Amino acid sequence: MSGAEGTAERRPAAGTTPPALDVERIRADFPVLHQEVYGKPLVYLDNAATTQKPRAVIDAVSRFYAHDNSNVHRGVHALSQRATEEYEGVRGKVREFLNAASERELIFVRGTTEAINLVAATFGRARIRAGDEILLTEMEHHSNIVPWQLLAEQVGATIKVVPITDTGELVMESFEQLLTDRTRLVAVAHLSNALGTINPVRRIIQAAHDAGVPVLLDGAQAAPHIRVDVRELDCDFYAFSGHKIYGPTGIGVLYGKEKWLEDMPPYQGGGEMIRQVSFTRSTYGDLPAKFEAGTPNIAGAVGLGAAIDYVRGIGLDAIAAHEHAVLEYALAAADAIPGMRVVGRAREKASILSFVLDGIHPHDIGTILDRQGLAVRAGHHCAMPVMEHYCLPATARASFAVYNTRAEVDALMAGIRKVQEVFGL
Amino acid sequence: MSDLRDLYQEVIFDHNRNPRNFRAMEDANRTAEGFNPLCGDRLTLYLKVDDGRIVDASFQGSGCAISTASASLMTDALKGRTVEEAEGLFHGFHDLITGEGGAPVDLGKLEVLSGVREFPTRVKCATLAWHTLNAALDDQGEPVTTE
Ligand SMILES: Cc1ncc(COP(=O)(O)O)c(C=O)c1O
């Protein structure tokens, strides 16, 4: 068991360009990274599931509870005003982060899953009818499949699926063929969590708009790794989760173009979202309140604000460049290990190393890596259609974030050789 | 790494590489399907039960080393047992894997899986075959899942 020892001290292999980013300083911002599991230094490579939180986010959440906690939008007192200002201030940060035109276009939700369900339940039920088609892709996360299936069952619509190639790219000719005069919505991952593919979303949006079809982008994986500009993309909806971008769980964002959001019926009913209520009729509040019924996750939003500040402080381009270098390094190292096969080799790819080993089930890989301090995911990654495409029950997946290093990739590869050794391969 | 060796014993690798009773059974009179949605392990269990006794047992499917070895060892252990004895083994095995007490049952070769106790995330892999057995004996039509 020499593989994972002294990981933190090890330097990247000679001859590789060092990343411009000071990773050791960044690592110092994340308390959770500095621990041992089973007596080995923790190497956290499950960032696509959730990222760790920097001190700034942890402190922002506890500072809010320690000093400003109150409900929003309803009190006349000082604390309520402070809480409201902080909460709404985060909406401003999200607007800048996504370059949305207006804060009215940004709805706080629980996460990507709720954002997509919101669109399915409101936009979907108002505009999608029997015989209509919803166009998805084979690489979607279950949360960008099941809400559409539920809707399709309710209204009698049909789901169409753009296939993927064996390298894990969308078959764009099929996309163009499947986009018909019956298509009412295209919903596609910006970055695939199972394969790491960055989809050609500009081209998709252009083609869909030429056909008069709006596009929802599932940005759960993209938001932490790619700079997103919703106006430049011209997408109609964009969803992401706070917890995958170094923020708290239970908070996320749905961006929607104002023209759609104005048009859509409310999602949930309750407090916050109304203007007037009587038993004969209620009228709804303005955007974005119309879609935020009930007391929101205020502290979560505050934490998300701190996470966005943190990410913008480093800069998404610098983060992307660093992660790209780590991923390239990992792909090359993976290719040098006999019996290791990377699943998903799209030309445009980020942050995800999905792989299988000959003769060893991913679940066994996960257990043996875990005992070496290496946290990876083993399973179908909530993308069973992807597994089916490759005829695999599961893959193992290492996913990288801003704080991961080449030394950690070395530890992973040493761990993988150890797995093979345990299995006598 | 000693606990890894406790989990992955030679016998388990042997049963993983060369699973026993790995075939469909034409004349089975009890079958059930098991599925672990967490890791995608699937198996179909076939039993031939004659006058309250399991005269033959086999399985097919795909899974990790633990679930494959467990199904292989289980089908070996079931052959020739009465349904009642099989139920006793189920409870004994469950106690072995979860570390819960109960009257000790002689589990024979099945005891090589005792290392799973130290790996809570893998308990479901080891018990999938056994839950499927339960379903087959109850003859439930629905596939069982570990969730
Ligand atoms: C591509 C993609 N979409 C959607 C989701 C769902 O995100 P959440 O669970 O935060 O709602 C995930 C998270 O795993 C994801 O990777």
Query: Which CATH number belongs to the domain containing residue A321 in this structure?
Result: 3.90.1150.10
At A73 the pLDDT is 86
Same domain, A7 and A134: no
The pLDDT of residue A14 is above 60: no
Interfacial residues of B (vs A; Cβ cutoff 8 Å): 1, 3-4, 7-8, 13, 38-42, 62-66, 68, 119, 121-122, 125
Q: How many domains does chain A have?
A: 2
Domain assignment present for B49: yes
Count Cβ–Cβ pairs < 8 Å, chain A vs chain B.
52
Q: Which atom of ligand 1 is nearest to the CA of A252?
A: 10
Report chain A residues whose CB lies below 8 A from the CB of B1. 1, 371, 422
Buried b or exposed e, range A186-207, using 16+ CB within 10 angstroms: bbbbbbbbbbbbbbbbeebbeb
Buried b or exposed e, range A212-243, using 16+ CB within 10 angstroms: ebbbbbbbbbbbbbbebebeebebbbbbbbbb
Nearest CA in chain B to A38: B1
How far does the centroid of ligand 1 lie from the alpha carbon of residue A240, in Å? 8
Q: What is the mean pLDDT of residues A116-144?
A: 97
The pLDDT of residue A271 is above 80: yes
- Most distant CA pair in chain B, distance: 47
CA distance A281 to A295: 22
Same domain, A123 and A240: yes
Residue A382 falls in the annotated catalytic set: yes
DSSP A236-275: SEEEEEGGGGTS-TT-EEEEE-HHHHHHSPPSS-SSSSEE
Q: How many domains does chain B have?
A: 1
At A55 the pLDDT is 98
How far does the centroid of ligand 1 lie from the alpha carbon of residue A141, in Å? 7
Phi, psi of A293 (to 5 degrees): -70, 140
A1 — pLDDT class (breaks 50, 70, 90): very low
Here the ipTM equals 0.89
Instruction: Out of B4, B38, B40, name the one closest to residue A422 (CB).
Output: B4
At B147 the pLDDT is 65
The pLDDT of residue A111 is above 70: yes
User: Which range of residues forms the domain containing residue A161?
Assistant: 57-312
- Among A312, A342, A369, give the residue marking a domain's end: A312
How far does the centroid of ligand 1 lie from the alpha carbon of residue A47, in Å? 12
pLDDT, tens digit (0-9, with 9 covering 90-100), for A27-36: 999 999 999 9
Domain assignment present for B147: no
CA distance B114 to B69: 13
CA distance A259 to A261: 6
Same domain, A146 and A165: yes
Report chain B residues whose CB lies below 8 A from the CB of A368. 4, 8
Domain assignment present for B112: yes
Mean pLDDT, all residues of chain A: 94
Task: Residue B70: give its domain's CATH number.
Answer: 3.90.1010.10
Same domain, A43 and A63: no
Domain assignment present for B145: no
DSSP state of A67: I
Token couple for A253: 């964002």
CA distance B95 to B102: 7
- Among A296, A312, A328, give the residue marking a domain's end: A312
User: Which range of residues forms the domain containing residue B67?
Assistant: 2-140
Q: Which atom of ligand 1 is nearest to the CA of A382?
A: 14
Q: What is the mean pLDDT of residues A62-80?
A: 93
Report chain A residues whose CB lies below 8 A from the CB of B66. 363-364
At B141 the pLDDT is 54
Domain assignment present for B35: yes
Same domain, A220 and A264: yes
At A10 the pLDDT is 40
Same domain, A265 and A396: no
The one catalytic residue in A37, A337, A382, A422 is A382
At B142 the pLDDT is 60
- The least confident of A149-163, A272-286, A390-404, B67-81 is A272-286
- Among A257, A284, A312, give the residue marking a domain's end: A312
Task: Residue A292: give its domain's CATH number.
Answer: 3.40.640.10
Ramachandran region of residue A364, left (φ > 0), alpha (ψ -120 to 50) or beta?
alpha
Nearest CA in chain B to A415: B1
Same domain, A41 and A85: no
CA distance A51 to A248: 9
Same domain, A250 and A366: no
Q: Which atom of ligand 1 is nearest to the CA of A189?
A: 1
How far does the centroid of ligand 1 lie from the alpha carbon of residue A143, in Å? 7
